[in-house]
Structure 1
């Protein structure tokens, strides 16, 4: 066995675990910690013949590590060393080292909280801070504290900040391995990549092949980018013996093995990989790394309750991990598709998944563990309170939690399946409906990336189309040739390209769930695919949508959703959106199924509410009384209430007036003047007189208006109101008398005319009067028992203002003579005396003789 750098640190690690129940091992990539440490600890006395569980974040790494350790013992996988991952396991009664993916640990802990047959749990590549790893560590720490004080925990990583983890493990010792690496030249771009990264990656690959020896490891954010780069490279002349091998999690095991295996002599390989190749496993022969600087991560939105994949820049720790892959065996080179300035702005570490993920599965795990409050456990980063509360609310909606927050029998059954709670609930609800087989296929399909590919203009989000293609592409549906399968794992179905490799994975996973539910493996009810919408409603009750317009839907949770292009489902009256993004006002629907109203009412029967809605309808300007059936934000149906109660009808009329404003009422000149006079009185004496401005009247309608509205239901009814009498009746008798004395409606001027006083400005009541009608009045007229002068707008014979004053005496003695000259010239037939104080007032051209 080749000696690896980790060997020098093993004695210290063995000593640390002999004296403590926890340790932290920090070793750089390529040191050998994943494959050497479990074997070195296998025969320690404190293990006492128990198992070692080692958690790997990815299935590929788990299988590769198990195979490597088994070969080191000259044994097949499944004897001393085995593995257990999703859809695949190789273990036996003699297995002592079991490499598992992180979700398996929580299943083992739920089944046996003490882990009686386990002596050591190793958390490998813990720096990735996956939700499963954080949860598994928290549960193991509680198990260690309450049930198994001899259980050892070892956290291993290449780039971990070790101190916080050591403190969490009760001040556990930290063991460092210096590792061994060769120098790696780093080449940055001079300017940022504009547009898509694929063309620049291809150019960089061509340059690297020409300038350097060895295999290439190219990091891309996802499978879509890998496919596009692979297609471009196949169109080029790359030279003899150059192979292109993709590497991502959903590839078949054989294809993954080809990517990480050494290249035969005289050949080179270009490995196009996601972050799966960043740690845990070694891609043999790599001397050149080309890093796009991007990674794809799930982001949960508490605002919408949806998770979407986001493409984000890598952290500095991840970039260094990737760069280190070029220097494991010899000096290498790393091309970075970003500038040195951008490099300085990279985040130091990747955000823990706990802080950005959907926490529904975590909330269910903790409820099954007997923990309602995450604060009862030890965490490096505790679950965010808002996201955790939202997760528990979803579990209550799915029937997994009772009113007190404890897990229900249904919730326990959901937790035992190990699926996302939405899908577990759907499967369990489907069994008594004899739709269990369909639910298993649907759950497996939703767990996989979309198996259909098409041009955007031909998009079809109908999940039923995928299920039909799945059944045609799997052995149970008949000969594969009948589906038009092409070399390379593709087939055609109804004009779409079907990924048959993905179909096989989906079928295998569906078979696993059928076995878990003890269902027949090959029975399908005739026409059962049409029940997809009802099953999705069980899984996504918050995403049941009702059509607003063609292609646009209102979801039960109040959000909007829409299709990107018109397609068959655009005209569905109801649907369930299984997959959508979180962009813009209306989320884009990627996967959905139609739902009949009868199905909706059947499967959501206990969540549909009935309410009486008596409200003002602005369209018809009247009260509408209806009985509605509602599901969240959706109105499923309604019928008219013929005789609503008088009090409810009154409340609706008041609501309508508040919506429309006081202009909906039949204001006359007299009633509007009365309102303004009241405002004048309120301005003069706010403690004793009511506020009669528009907003104040709206706010106090219950007092002054409501008693007069009984029996009214429309704007036409409101037209019968006498607002003057209603406002007057609002006042006590004494105030009515005082109002007339203090704020009269009119003022009789010297000519004998009674002229209405304008109270529009409460602080300055106004009298507009022709100048000739004021002859003989020596001083400014006053109201308010002589305390408030009227503002006079003195008018010409044509009723145009010629002077504004509150000092009539000064006007007569001075300004009048200038005004007289002008008016006499324009109105020569009118009477313009030399002494206005003794002149006869008139409302005519000239006074009567």
Structure 2
């Protein structure tokens, strides 16, 4: 029996007539409804025509003026009013999908699986009478790939689209493609409590024309889908700002400052004292939930129940939390799964730590992981709304009001930050490998998409042209990341389908930390474990084993039919009849676990470097935790790792011990051999090397390396260590300074000989010598000056004036030829004062453009004065210098009138003798 009283209390009912008109006129709409309005439960029932005789009508109000809505949409053709329409509701999480289905079934007075059902990975409760089916977005993508027309489905509702999960964005793009080309009558609804309504309206209204558009804007115009807003029950939520008393370290990677978690636990206790009702506390992950739960363990003695809700929690625990109705007060510690689509009965208080987990991918190192970030303003509003679902409530925010304005408005779209390998395979299977024709709110980053295509090509999922292979199609239908799909298909032939499926199930949902970091040991723990994870793992392993067996049998039949001429001959790369036979099942479990992990992540096979450290084939260092049994292994297949900020190596979270043969077999695509001649440790090193990516397998000295490789190594050495490797005489240094001076002053044909320029033109001035050199000692014998002279502008003829424009030495009045120093901004002539008697003008160089700066030295060679104008010095400065130095150097001439005195380099006595 339909619970009309409960339906009548859902505020979204007032928006149903407008939604009906929008779908009839446009075929798509954006529904914005606050938490608790019933958008997730009433709207699908109304779309299906299950809440009243006239479809999308207010169950307590008058019939819609347009009457029943036809599944043919805007064409105006109508089906009988009593014919239910089939509706798919896509939720981002399994817990939300199950909860929504249960709630809708309850509203109809039925059991789940009758007219309302759900399908999530590994679990389906739906029957022939089911007309409203709640699925995860991943399941929706699988259905679209198998049946692009979505035969029999009249409407699809994408719930919680504000979260911008990659699967949801992809599903929306595919649905718009289907609507535009195959099913114009298919109705689409994007629903959320907080979203970029204008962006979604343009996307749903214009289809693939919006693929490259910016998501900002009003969303108005003829092309935009209507935006239907439903007012919620106005239960006020009081905001209490509760920042920590002392600063806490910001999150990085997966690490959260324990001081913040202690503050969150204290805030929960404060909320229990100050406010009535149950408390819902948001934390970023399972580990943080466990630590806060430990700090609140004594609450049970006071009659308060502490519950944990997250994606890994047992279904029974999730059901109990969502059912409510206990006499005890409750504290529910939850991840972001409780942000949307779920109502936790009895909650009047929310404690928000202000953190969330988002995916990040380090494409350079081949590492993908979740990272802890500040929650967005949209997420904070969603979380706060949980406190006001049933009555006025309170939210305690563990940050200051000043910080709140600096939070990002929305979560980062997953397409911008996540690993795109699965997305790229979905796009290739859809027939659009570049995703250029898909209607997406945000285009995928070109670099991330290119990296994803490289992975797909390496595992045989797509061909060189980017188009999906038969093997890639099979991978896409396993409901796994393509890497894991590759490991399952290829590993099944070597270790058997059951064991391959069990290990892949472990990798598809990382086991609890208490299972340890040894994959084989975790496998054994899961086999004998009776916890919730073990139950889910066994279910997933059975699903995967069945999928591989079915696929292998089907392909064997195809090959049999093809050989008999009764069917298409379509062999699939990477699969054969040996898959069913389970060839290689003699491997131990430890070896099997290592092989599967290595097949999934070949660039993460790692060789020991000693002292518990490893080098992965990707070139990234890796290190298991202290005390880990993995530290002494010669080789590892690293399945899960993350690289903390500023850390030199990645932290190994889950790995298996392997041997070199397994590493070579799994990462064969990374194998390379050849001559390796490079500059290392200050000299040329020539070896014959075999490698797996960055991991060196075998190295032997190379007696006669190729001259071209030697030359390149020498060039690399000069660029790395500098031109000081050459022999620089005083004359060579002077030559370089003079050339640099003319380049600076005259430019034109005079070359740049700076430290930055010379290494870039080694062939032009050092080519001959480099051609003869073989090692560092040969470089040290090269006369740099002789080589550098080749850069003088001989072709233009300017080089013949080099000594005239920048003379190496200048003859002074005493007859001495004194070297000019061109090392500074202005040429310097350092000469004893007595040698310049009678010289009235300072010399000039560079065609008279630049005066030489004269450093007048004492008889001991120390600077006595500096001038660029000798005439002025003799007139004004000489007198004071003479007074100071005449007594100190009496044997040298100090005439009163130096302009007419005889210049000399000698003492007075010798001058008289001469």
Q: Same fold (TM over 0.5)?
A: yes
Aligned to 1:494: none
**2:291 paired with 1:291:** no
Deviation at 1:526, TM superposition (A): 4.3
Query: Are 1:166 and 1:172, in contact at CA under 8 Å, matched by a contact in 2?
Result: yes
**2:641 paired with 1:580:** yes
With over 3 angstroms needed to count, the CA separation of the structure-2 counterparts of 1:841 and 1:23, relative to structure 1, is closer
Aligned to 1:31: 37
Query: Are 1:650 and 1:706, in contact at CA under 8 Å, matched by a contact in 2?
Result: no
Aligned to 2:70: 46
**2:28 paired with 1:22:** yes
1:250 to 312, 318, 321: 312
Q: Distance in 2 between matches of 1:78 and 1:187?
A: 41
Query: Are 1:578 and 1:592, in contact at CA under 8 Å, matched by a contact in 2?
Result: yes
With over 3 angstroms needed to count, the CA separation of the structure-2 counterparts of 1:568 and 1:325, relative to structure 1, is closer
**2:282 paired with 1:222:** no
1:603 to 666, 682, 690: 666
Q: Distance in 2 between matches of 1:82 and 1:615?
A: 64
Aligned to 1:467: 523
**2:6 paired with 1:3:** yes
Aligned to 1:82: 117
**2:155 paired with 1:120:** yes
Q: Distance in 2 between matches of 1:657 and 1:521?
A: 59
Q: 3-state DSSP class of the match of 2:511?
A: coil
Query: Are 1:430 and 1:535, in contact at CA under 8 Å, matched by a contact in 2?
Result: yes
Q: Deviations over 1:755-796 (max 9, x none)?
A: 553344599766655566678x77779798997997766655
Give matches, 1:652-667, under 5 Å.
652-667=713-728
Q: Distance in 2 between matches of 1:135 and 1:467?
A: 33
User: Which moves more between the two structures, 410-419 or 65-74?
Assistant: 65-74
Q: Distance in 2 between matches of 1:38 and 1:718?
A: 79
User: Which moves more between the two structures, 79-88 or 104-113?
Assistant: 79-88
2:655 to 592, 600, 617: 592
Q: Deviations over 1:258-305 (max 9, x none)?
A: 2222425x5444433333333323333x15222224353323235555
With over 3 angstroms needed to count, the CA separation of the structure-2 counterparts of 1:571 and 1:74, relative to structure 1, is same
2:591 to 530, 541, 545: 530
Q: Distance in 1 between matches of 2:86 and 2:387?
A: 35
Deviation at 1:64, TM superposition (A): 3.1
Q: Distance in 1 between matches of 2:176 and 2:741?
A: 75
Query: Are 2:237 and 2:387, in contact at CA under 8 Å, matched by a contact in 1?
Result: no
Q: Distance in 1 between matches of 2:580 and 2:116?
A: 33
Q: Distance in 2 between matches of 1:317 and 1:804?
A: 71
2:467 to 398, 406, 416: 406
With over 3 angstroms needed to count, the CA separation of the structure-2 counterparts of 1:766 and 1:66, relative to structure 1, is closer
Deviation at 1:417, TM superposition (A): 0.8
With over 3 angstroms needed to count, the CA separation of the structure-2 counterparts of 1:341 and 1:773, relative to structure 1, is closer
Deviation at 1:505, TM superposition (A): 1.7
Q: Deviations over 1:824-847 (max 9, x none)?
A: 644555677888857695746524
Query: Are 1:289 and 1:322, in contact at CA under 8 Å, matched by a contact in 2?
Result: no
Query: Are 1:188 and 1:338, in contact at CA under 8 Å, matched by a contact in 2?
Result: no
Deviation at 1:179, TM superposition (A): 4.4
User: Which moves more between the two structures, 695-704 or 289-298?
Assistant: 695-704
Aligned to 1:477: none
Consecutive unaligned residues of structure 1, counting only runs of 5 or more, are 455-459, 474-488, 490-499
Q: Deviations over 1:335-389 (max 9, x none)?
A: 4445555555555544443343332212211111111233412234443444333
**2:370 paired with 1:309:** yes
With over 3 angstroms needed to count, the CA separation of the structure-2 counterparts of 1:95 and 1:766, relative to structure 1, is closer
Q: Distance in 2 between matches of 1:748 and 1:16?
A: 97
**2:173 paired with 1:146:** no
Aligned to 2:59: none
Deviation at 1:252, TM superposition (A): 1.8
Deviation at 1:687, TM superposition (A): 5.3
1:509 to 540, 549, 552: 540
Q: Distance in 1 between matches of 2:773 and 2:298?
A: 79
With over 3 angstroms needed to count, the CA separation of the structure-2 counterparts of 1:77 and 1:551, relative to structure 1, is same
With over 3 angstroms needed to count, the CA separation of the structure-2 counterparts of 1:272 and 1:663, relative to structure 1, is closer
Deviation at 1:517, TM superposition (A): 0.8
1:379 to 440, 443, 453: 440
With over 3 angstroms needed to count, the CA separation of the structure-2 counterparts of 1:782 and 1:591, relative to structure 1, is same
Query: Are 1:24 and 1:175, in contact at CA under 8 Å, matched by a contact in 2?
Result: yes
Q: Distance in 2 between matches of 1:306 and 1:792?
A: 63
Deviation at 1:255, TM superposition (A): 1.8
Q: Under a length normalisation based on structure 1, what TM-score does the superposition of the two structures give?
A: 0.82
Q: Distance in 2 between matches of 1:357 and 1:119?
A: 32
Q: Distance in 1 between matches of 2:859 and 2:701?
A: 61
Give matches, 1:712-731, under 5 Å.
712-721=773-782
Deviation at 1:570, TM superposition (A): 3.6
Query: Are 1:245 and 1:269, in contact at CA under 8 Å, matched by a contact in 2?
Result: yes
Deviation at 1:420, TM superposition (A): 1.1
With over 3 angstroms needed to count, the CA separation of the structure-2 counterparts of 1:60 and 1:617, relative to structure 1, is closer
Q: 3-state DSSP class of the match of 2:89?
A: strand
Q: Distance in 2 between matches of 1:588 and 1:412?
A: 34
Q: Deviations over 1:111-135 (max 9, x none)?
A: 1111112222222333433322222
Aligned to 1:848: 913
With over 3 angstroms needed to count, the CA separation of the structure-2 counterparts of 1:820 and 1:425, relative to structure 1, is same
Aligned to 2:98: 63
Q: Distance in 2 between matches of 1:342 and 1:74?
A: 47
Q: Distance in 2 between matches of 1:355 and 1:11?
A: 37
Query: Are 1:78 and 1:92, in contact at CA under 8 Å, matched by a contact in 2?
Result: yes
2:325 to 260, 263, 274: 263
Q: 3-state DSSP class of the match of 1:228?
A: helix
Q: Distance in 2 between matches of 1:532 and 1:526?
A: 10
Deviation at 1:613, TM superposition (A): 3.4
Q: Deviations over 1:460-479 (max 9, x none)?
A: 63323312322343xxxxxx
Q: Distance in 2 between matches of 1:115 and 1:630?
A: 48
User: Which moves more between the two structures, 345-354 or 508-517?
Assistant: 345-354
Deviation at 1:657, TM superposition (A): 3.8
Aligned to 2:553: none
Query: Are 1:542 and 1:555, in contact at CA under 8 Å, matched by a contact in 2?
Result: yes
**2:333 paired with 1:275:** no
Q: Deviations over 1:114-171 (max 9, x none)?
A: 1112222222333433322222222112112211222222333334454543443335
Q: Distance in 1 between matches of 2:526 and 2:666?
A: 26
Q: Deviations over 1:428-471 (max 9, x none)?
A: 221232354443223222232432329xxxxx633233123223
Give matches, 1:385-424, under 5 Å.
385-424=446-485
User: Which moves more between the two structures, 123-132 or 13-22?
Assistant: 13-22
Query: Are 2:37 and 2:232, in contact at CA under 8 Å, matched by a contact in 1?
Result: yes
Deviation at 1:394, TM superposition (A): 2.9
Query: Are 2:491 and 2:595, in contact at CA under 8 Å, matched by a contact in 1?
Result: no
Deviation at 1:699, TM superposition (A): 5.2
Q: Deviations over 1:652-683 (max 9, x none)?
A: 44443444444333344455555566667778
Give matches, 1:702-781, under 5 Å.
702-721=763-782, 755-760=817-822
Q: Deviations over 1:607-645 (max 9, x none)?
A: 3234533334452xx433334444444444433332234
Q: Distance in 2 between matches of 1:462 and 1:638?
A: 30
Query: Are 1:769 and 1:792, in contact at CA under 8 Å, matched by a contact in 2?
Result: yes
Query: Are 1:70 and 1:76, in contact at CA under 8 Å, matched by a contact in 2?
Result: yes
Q: 3-state DSSP class of the match of 1:283?
A: coil
